[in-house]
Amino acid sequence: FTSTRDSVFLPTTMPAKTATLPKIVAPPAVVDSTTIIKPKSKAPNMTPKNTGLVMNCYALRRRMKAARVGKFIRPASAVYMGAVMEYLMAEVLELAGNCARDNKKKTIKPRHIMMAVEMDDELKPLFSDANVILPGGGVVPGIHSCLVKKVDPDTFKGWSRQNLSAKAGVGAKE
């Protein structure tokens, strides 16, 4: 029996688990002797010029990756998500602007956004299902029917509305 310390290990190279193919870079195409055309880049081109969106699709894709939405986020999915978000944002801002104008204000405040969402039949379920809370939005105006008092002839309406002299018997017509 010999110790492992005494034995000398010779470095051996193990074959790679997966064979890596050498990357072949296409040489630039030459049209004329003076003009050189570079090969097309394979990086996703999500610039506003190409997508036609205002939102930054690069940042949106980065946030989707950080949120672990999926294993791999395709550039087209980030562009699609940006288009949907931009449409919803434009819709909400248009309604909020109308609400601000109705209240004779020139600035859209969180209250106007809240009122616009609550008054719209399509946006209200979307926001309520997602449990969206708008800070500074306030509450929806209205009193629940169970909280409203029933008005009967016997309901006390206040001293100013009572005919006190008629109840006392003074000036009562019989």
Distance CA 72, CA 95 (A): 36
- Its pTM stands at 0.58
Matching residue, tokens 């909400």: 92
Q: For the chain, give the percent of residues with pLDDT over 70.
A: 69
Average pLDDT over residues 21-45: 70
Closest to 111 in 3D by CA, of 138, 141, 142: 138
Distance CA 142, CA 149 (A): 14
Q: For the chain, give the percent of residues with pLDDT over 90.
A: 40
Paired tokens of 29 = 């195409």
Distance CA 44, CA 155 (A): 73
| Integer CA distances (angstroms), 10 to 4, 7, 103, 123, in order | 13, 10, 85, 71
Kindly report, residue by residue over 147-156, the tens digit of the pLDDT.
887 777 776 6
H/E run at residue 37 = strand 36-37
Distance CA 154, CA 172 (A): 19
Backbone angles phi, psi at 91, to 5 degrees: -65, -50
Residue 34 vs residue 83, higher pLDDT: 83
Long-range residue pairs from 93-99, CB within 8 A, at least 24 positions apart, any chain = 95/119, 95/120, 95/123
Closest to 77 in 3D by CA, of 108, 110, 44: 44
Average pLDDT over residues 102-112: 94
